[in-house]
Amino acid sequence: MLNLELRNIAIIAHVDHGKTTLVDKLLKQSGYFRSNQDIPDRIMDSNDLERERGITILAKNTSIIYNDIKINIVDTPGHADFGGEVERIVKMVDGVLLLVDAYEGPMPQTRFVLKKALDANLSPVVVINKIDRSDARPEEVIDELLDLFIDLEADEDQLDFPVVFASAKAGYAKLDIDAEPMDLKPLLDTIIDNIPAPTGDSNGNLQAIISSIDYDPYVGRIGVGKINRGSIEKNQEAVLCNTEDKELTVKINNLYTYEGLKRKEVQNAYTGDIVAISGIDNINIGDTLCSIDLVDPVSFVSIDEPTISMNFIVNDSPMAGNEGTYVTSRHLKDRLMRELLSNVSLKVEEISPESFKVSGRGELHLSILIETMRREGYEFAVTRPEVIMKKEDDLLLEPLERLFIEVPEEYSGTVIESVGKRKGELMAMQNTIGSTIKLEFLIPARGLIGYRSDFLTETKGNGIMNYVFEGYVPHKGEIISRNKGALVASEDGIAIAYGLHGAQERGSLFIEPGVQVYAGMIVGENLRSGDITVNVCKKKQLTNTRAAGADDSLRLTPPIIMSLENCLEFINDDELLEVTPKSLRLRKVILDKTIRERTAKRQKIS
């Protein structure tokens, strides 16, 4: 049976092609805000990190009413590192809006998210966005999209996709590129006409699959999902079936549907609607809620395996516990286990009581978790990211990425040489409009660790790089990682301008005068390979001809400000990143210089 009063769609696209902006305008034009209400841009990106980085990290639900039809909308991330967010919502929707930039055309993540949608047999509506750009080329982009659909083996119905031309920023859509722009109604009409209404027997026994987990400090965990069959009532008893084939009788304490950006408490909800349910403490992503009369769980969509891992360790540096609120192994374990409840592409293994192996989709996936935890008051240390290898028939396999690079022609030779040193193979080269060249490589995931900062340096910030997971291939051999050593502090104390002036002759500094340091802490990068121990706390010997104020005349080069991503790319296997709410400190695993050198000699001999 069709529920004609509902449509469930997800908005998918490459990073920065306008998904969240489009949702903003749909909400504003649907009358959910007062005319004089101050509405921030990208209102769906409610997370602080999402606003700062300009990307969507978590899939989010909203809804609008158009011509008495409720349209449930899920805004999804565009970055492949958060692909788990896309994969888990395909059970919640019946169609997708595929947004594509009118100039850039299909990009790496466009292929990634579209493949997930087509595999789930969802109906697509293509939106060519940013048609108001001066360099827009919408007709060519449509041809490129058709090639992409064919390449991804879309069926005949999916190939016959409707196209809408739009400017999400300006808030209009049109079916004819030459038509006069008005508002977003042409897009809404296309959704109603082409996205199928949800199917299911409204009179049947309850079956609802949970695709997302939210949390509220007052009511606890909230499961978000779609009712596949039947109806659900507040205070109703149901059977919760989890992915481990366990069944538990539960009670629906509170029931919500989405109205604009808010959850609205309701007494009943019916087939096809997206609901939020509270009162079930152990509800998880992938669980199915069934009626007591018929227990019929749904198999959950498979999630791609993680490809990158790092160890999260209890901080044991001399400055441990000075800046964090949550510093113990129990705090660290509880927080990581709580992350697993909503982050479906993450894996956590306990290596020891004080060390946990955390695996994710990529460096960005893990760095967002690290940054979130430090903002919550957690203090810990992490190891260098490393790829997850597999063994099949005694053959060592490693993850391979398809790397897409767009650079001005003058930098292409440098980039090709640099990627080649990291075992990357050039697969395609294409001249674009102007003097820009598009390069496509296949490169081991190991080769991408630490490459982004080198890439920005090589292209003087003018290059764009994206990559998507390709598969597993036989191990490609050794890849040379960082070719420069570290400047390591020799003693505890406060960094002094005189000591820093002597150290900067050896390389580039990461700290400035007045910073507290400890023996074994990395304070800069050596100009050459190999580590050098420096005394940045050294003071000038005072005599009757030397005054302490003479230090003021020393010229120090401004230190390199290391972001979280820079730090993760910099550290080697024998180094750690100390993470606190206030600081990021690079350090050696073994702080004592003598023991460190003795250990290194033993490793060389073995």
C-alpha dihedral (414, 54, 14, 262), degrees to nearest 10 = 170
Q: Name 595's bridge partners.
A: none
Sign of CA dihedral 169, 170, 176, 182: positive
Strands 532-534 and 486-489: parallel
Tell whether 21 is in a known binding site.
yes
8 Å CB contact between 350 and 338: no
Tell whether 62 is in a known binding site.
no
Strands 532-534 and 507-509: unpaired
Strands 516-517 and 493-494: antiparallel
Q: Which of 488, 527, 490 is nearest to 507 (CA)?
A: 527
Paired tokens of 459: 């292209």
Helix, strand or coil for residue 76?
A: coil
Tell whether 132 is in a known binding site.
yes
Q: Cα(551)–Cα(498) distance, rounded to whole angstroms?
A: 6
Tell whether 492 is in a known binding site.
no
Per-state percent for the chain, helix, strand, coil, to nearest 5: 25, 35, 40
Paired tokens of 588: 């050696």
Helix, strand or coil for residue 85?
A: helix
Q: Cα(287)–Cα(278) distance, rounded to whole angstroms?
A: 14
Q: Cα(443)–Cα(402) distance, rounded to whole angstroms?
A: 6
Helix, strand or coil for residue 496?
A: coil
Tell whether 115 is in a known binding site.
no
Q: Cα(328)–Cα(337) distance, rounded to whole angstroms?
A: 14
Paired tokens of 44: 């769906």
Tell whether 545 is in a known binding site.
no
Tell whether 475 is in a known binding site.
no
Q: Cα(366)–Cα(242) distance, rounded to whole angstroms?
A: 26
Tell whether 17 is in a known binding site.
yes
Q: Cα(606)–Cα(600) distance, rounded to whole angstroms?
A: 10
Distances 12 to 27, 115, 173, 237, 336 between C-alpha atoms, Å: 17, 11, 17, 35, 28
- Residue 497's CB is within 10 A of a number of other CB atoms, namely 18
Binding-site residue set: 16-21, 129-132
Binding-site residue set for GTP: 16-21, 129-132
